[in-house]
A = this chain, B = another copy of it.
Amino acid sequence: MMIPRAAKTQRRTRIQEEKEEKILEAALDVFSANGFRGATIDQIAEAAGMSKPNLLYYFRTKEAIHRALLDRMLFTWLEPLQAFDPEGNPETEIRSYIRRKLEMSRDFPRESRLFANEIIQGAQHIEDELKGPLKELVDEKAEVIRAWIKAGKIAKCDPYHLIFSIWSTTQHYADFDVQVQAVLGDKSGEGRFEDAARFLEDLFMRGLAIKPATG
């Protein structure tokens, strides 16, 4: 007899792994482009190249697909902030945080939009993660920034809003890409990410009164 999916404790077959991968890949396309309510199982199934019942054999509900996507992404998404090093010096740390976040916007725009959709629409599926792990991580890193301020290494400012401003400016290039491209017009090749990096690094370095190392 077939073992119900819920009871499976470990991955079984190669097919399972492949198909689940294909489904999540397709779901990322669809959810990031339409939000949870706007996405349909049929769309995902078609994008994944399989029938709807077949898809539902691997994920029992639309919610389950969405959950799986968010779960796998949450870690990745927080990773750059995790890497923020208390021992490092502010210039290096903030510069590379900006650069990393910008690279993620460039290389994983769908992931960024998946989150953006989710949060804009009320974050009903990840409320706990926001108030738990995310908040804790931000609290921790805000403390690091506060220490830098106390040590006179960067200008006095609210660490939380500093973090928000880095999030928003960098994610903008993924989430609002069509707008950015519409405004920049032909000028916007892939160079827009490098221009953005230069601009943002300058803005934040000067804004935090960090003088660039001239060594």
A85 at the interface (CB under 8 A from B): no
Residues of B within 8 A of A184 (CB): 160
How many A residues face the partner with a CB closer than 8 A?
Answer: 56
Contact B130 A161 (CB under 8 A): no
With A135-B182, A178-B119 known as contacts, the answer to whether A161 contacts B37 (CB < 8 A) is: no
Residues of B within 8 A of A167 (CB): 172, 176
Contact A169 B180 (CB under 8 A): no
* Chain B: minimal CB distance from A36 (Å): 7
Residues of B within 8 A of A172 (CB): 164-165, 167-168
Give A35's nearest chain B residue, CB to CB.
B35
* Chain B: minimal CB distance from A206 (Å): 5
With A33-B121, A121-B38 known as contacts, the answer to whether A203 contacts B157 (CB < 8 A) is: yes
Q: Choose the segment among A55-63, A87-95, A191-199 that binds chain B (4+ C-beta atoms closer than 8 Å).
A: A191-199
* Cα-based distance from A165 to B184 in the complex (angstroms): 14
A82 at the interface (CB under 8 A from B): no
Q: Which residues 31-85 of A have a CB within 8 angstroms of B?
A: 33-39
Going nearest first, the 4 A-B pairs with the smallest beta carbon separation are A37-B38, A207-B207, A168-B172, A130-B182
Chain A residues near B (Cβ < 8 Å): 33-39, 113, 116-117, 119-123, 127, 130-131, 134-135, 138, 155, 157-158, 160-162, 164-165, 167-169, 171-173, 175-176, 178-180, 182-185, 195-196, 198-200, 202-204, 206-209
